[in-house]
Structure 1
């Protein structure tokens, strides 16, 4: 952990001219299923799972299996921030018993409001860092719950929230660089994949990010998917943020044949390793190149260092989409 703590202010430390590059053209480290460090079997199997998985999770042994195959991160949100993560993939559920907002992936994790406050504290301590919060999966949430969560985001971040692109003439995506944001109080981009954002002009719509998903448990297929998208320049909506997902997705059958293993040991660690190798094979940030990169267990295989280092390969500031 000490070796990656130096990335707690990596945006602040970028060469000055790179800070004029649009955020959509920077290489930004992100975490997949960011809030899974604190998954708690005692809170029960979560509502995001199929009935068969929930039945498995209701047994003592089954809970341990679900936990091993649901956990995607070893670091807390605060630790990820200090490690250099600037994009967070948030999956949220209202717990059916406590009615609390918790992170979710197979099991229930930590409290969302506490994580938001940790992020705000980090930003107060590191005033030149910018984070992207992508709320993209919701479970057991009605309209009232969405408004409660959005109000919590507004309450915690207030004036730090970056206006969505195209909402005002001054904050189009193409002009949203670190340097431009540093001239304002804005430090948090919140993307929310639900139509209830219409009453929250500071929240970005789902259409402002593309996140192609390989949806495979095969490592070779994952790399082919990434390479096809990169080589063929399939990132065509260049006025959007773009997430490159270096993750493997186990099938239920695969888990059933590997009950004694874990996502980290069986699939995720090697996926992060190969994703890093792929990024090192001449990949560069840019309008049709690398932007946000997400992985499981982000402290492994020099993932943070590799992604941040790609910004040193930027040779010119794009002038148009």
Structure 2
């Protein structure tokens, strides 16, 4: 459990499904982009559809009709193992959501998530589930980052934006105001949506949230890149993400990993995550952090470790 001390008083987070509401009063008026917030990388990748066509990497798209190729892609694209509700219950408050439309879908406005493959569950169904959870936990602030759109039809973007605004309505915290816990609570608005598509702007939706990551499967290189980003490139007055996730190569070097028949991304992450979390604790003592995103967010005490970083902000 995360422990907070003020004047000798012991404070503990007793339930990570409601950890924001249990933070000490001293943190209620701090801007949210100055709090440490646990997030998940490629949040919907637990739901990848083995029967869908391959959407990435580009080199493997021609193998979409081959089952074993799709199976390999899924093994190395599934960065999360628990569904969105379980991630929320575990304390995750930032979600990295990448969106595309399936080719030849009979529904012209239906969209899905993707990471290597398309998901089985569509975007609107997932967002409805998030809205229901947010209503049950009104003091937990959720940040939804919609990005990496494969769809360029602006009519579909307009449809999705209108759906988001209609679904969340008064729960949306406007980008024209600076959010703090207390301000969100007072207004009854606990959902922030970042929509990273430059051609579509809306006063209620936030623009792109910078996501810094190491771009490597080597934890030493990941740490080095993130250290540079946190020291030189992080914004001081807006949200930003420090991604602890590993990244597969985009060239032929990817074969070194995906051809390992007895390995997968989850196992590789499991071996590296404890070290990256230890580095994060040490780095947070030197530079401010905001959203910290990871793969396998329900493992290795990821959420408690990130939440506990807020003790430095009292």
TM-score (norm 2): 0.88
Equivalent residues of 1:246, 1:271 under 8 A apart: no
SS of equivalent residue, structure 1 residue 294: strand
Equivalent residues of 1:210, 1:242 under 8 A apart: yes
1:180 aligns with 2:183: yes
Output the CA distance in 2 between the equivalents of 1:92 and 1:151: 16
Unaligned 5+ residue runs, structure 2?
A: 1-12
- Provide the aligned C-alpha RMSD in A: 1.9
Q: Which residue of 1 aligns with 2:266?
A: 264
1:159-212 CA-to-partner distances (Å, cap 9, x unmatched) read 111111xx3xxx2x3xx21011111021111111112433x2101112xx2212
Q: Compared with structure 1, are the counterparts of its residues 236 and 225 closer, same or farther at alpha carbon in structure 2 (3 Å cutoff)?
A: closer
1:28-67 alignment runs, 5 A limit? 28-46=37-55, 48-50=56-58, 52-67=59-74
1:254 aligns with 2:256: yes
TM-superposed deviation, 1:235: 4.1
1:72 aligns with 2:79: yes
Q: Which residue of 2 aligns with 1:97?
A: 104
Output the CA distance in 1 between the equivalents of 2:14 and 2:223: 29
Q: Compared with structure 1, are the counterparts of its residues 57 and 273 closer, same or farther at alpha carbon in structure 2 (3 Å cutoff)?
A: farther
Equivalent residues of 1:235, 1:289 under 8 A apart: no
1:212-227 alignment runs, 5 A limit? 212-227=212-227
1:131-142 alignment runs, 5 A limit? 131-142=142-153
Q: Compared with structure 1, are the counterparts of its residues 5 and 17 closer, same or farther at alpha carbon in structure 2 (3 Å cutoff)?
A: closer
Equivalent residues of 2:234, 2:240 under 8 A apart: no
Output the CA distance in 2 between the equivalents of 1:88 and 1:284: 25
1:203 aligns with 2:205: yes
Unaligned 5+ residue runs, structure 1?
A: 316-321
TM-superposed deviation, 1:260: 4.1
TM-superposed deviation, 1:107: 0.8
Structure 1 range deviating more: 5-14 or 127-136: 5-14
TM-score (norm 1): 0.86
Output the CA distance in 1 between the equivalents of 2:113 and 2:257: 22
1:21-77 CA-to-partner distances (Å, cap 9, x unmatched) read 11000000000000111111112223x431x31233421211110110111100111
Out of 129, 137, 140, the position equivalent to 1:126 is: 137
Output the CA distance in 2 between the equivalents of 1:189 and 1:90: 13
1:107-137 CA-to-partner distances (Å, cap 9, x unmatched) read 1112111111111111111111111111121
TM-superposed deviation, 1:308: 0.8
Out of 15, 23, 28, the position equivalent to 1:14 is: 23
Q: Which residue of 2 aligns with 1:319?
A: none
Output the CA distance in 2 between the equivalents of 1:213 and 1:190: 21
SS of equivalent residue, structure 2 residue 220: helix
TM-superposed deviation, 1:259: 4.4
SS of equivalent residue, structure 1 residue 182: helix
